[in-house]
Amino acid sequence: MRQYIYAFVVGGIICVIAQVLMDTTKLKPAHILVLFVTLGGVLSALGVYQPLVNIAGAGATIPIPGFGHAMVSGVLEEIEKSGIVGVFSGGLKATAIGLSAAVLFGYIMALLFNPKG
């Protein structure tokens, strides 16, 4: 139960920050998307993001900074295993499931549904 609450609070705070940026700055949704992925990566490299994941679980991994975190931690892991080439392979390896699922489900939805306005 405790982790559910943490997930709600941490995930909520991440989204609130994005909403405040959308409402008070001239940043467009795409800017925020890129900014948050990068931010997740940077925080992950600084060792700040993993503790968030530990307490909030999906609350930290599902919002888009979680994607940056997954890439960076994938790179770090891969460097341990196979040295410097890990910089190139680790990020995509770690996020392959998410990326493939996004493409597949996106495709299925596009086949099944037709927007009417």
- Which residues of this protein are in contact with another protein, per CB under 8 A? 22-23, 26, 29, 114-117
Among the residues of 1-117, which ranges form H helices?
A: 2-24, 29-45, 49-56, 58-61, 65-82, 86-112
Contact of 60 with 9, CB cutoff 8 Å: no
- Residue 6 Cβ vs another protein, minimum distance, rounded to whole Å: 26
- Residue 69 Cβ vs another protein, minimum distance, rounded to whole Å: 24
Q: Which is nearer to another protein, 29 or 47 (CB)?
A: 29
Q: Which is nearer to another protein, 2 or 26 (CB)?
A: 26
- Residue 53 Cβ vs another protein, minimum distance, rounded to whole Å: 26
Q: Which is nearer to another protein, 15 or 92 (CB)?
A: 15
Contact of 64 with 98, CB cutoff 8 Å: no
Give first-to-last CA distance, the chain, whole Å: 40
